[in-house]
Amino acid sequence: MKKVLFVCHGNVCRSAMAEAILKDQIKKDNLSNKIEVNSAATSSEEIGNPPHPNVRTILDKHHLDYSGMYATQIEAKDFDKYDYIIGMDKENMDNLMHWSPKDDLQKIHLYLNIDDQKSDREIPDPWFTGKFEQTFEVINKIMPKWINYILKN
């Protein structure tokens, strides 16, 4: 069983979208015995909150389940628990690299680097850009590449 944790600043936009998208794909592809997914925040400001209202609207539109999803903050034990810890932007990555034990650094990935490990492309936070639908589309488009990578490694 491969365990995946998506991480963004508040866990109410990007990482919540990624979790809902991957959970749906796991269900559709009958991969529940191969991949487990969750999401978390680097900050504490949204802990306990459901996904952002605009995110919920988009997830509803795409018939993706987000029931039971509430923002949580990454904890030290998560670095041992998860095989893949995937950040959405450089700030997330900086925090994750700083907090991670040295033995777990190889578990940390930047979401859009699945195509090119040196690209350093980020997914901007729609909380600030207002581009919720575009953010969803980017995350959704790249997710099959992550699924393939996770299943092969």
pTM here is: 0.96
Angle, vertex CA 108, rays to CA 102 and CA 114, nearest 5? 145
Active site residue 56: no
CA distance 96 to 9: 11
Active site residue 8: yes
Q: Where are the domains of the chain?
A: 2-152
Active site residue 13: no
CATH architecture of 2-152: 3-Layer(aba) Sandwich (3.40)
* Active-site pick, 13, 14, 78, 89: 14
* Active-site pick, 8, 13, 78, 89: 8
pLDDT digit of tens for each residue in the chain (153 aa)?
999 999 999 999 999 999 999 999 999 999 999 999 999 999 999 999 999 999 999 999 999 999 999 999 999 999 999 999 999 999 999 999 999 999 999 999 999 999 765 566 899 999 999 999 999 999 999 999 999 999 999
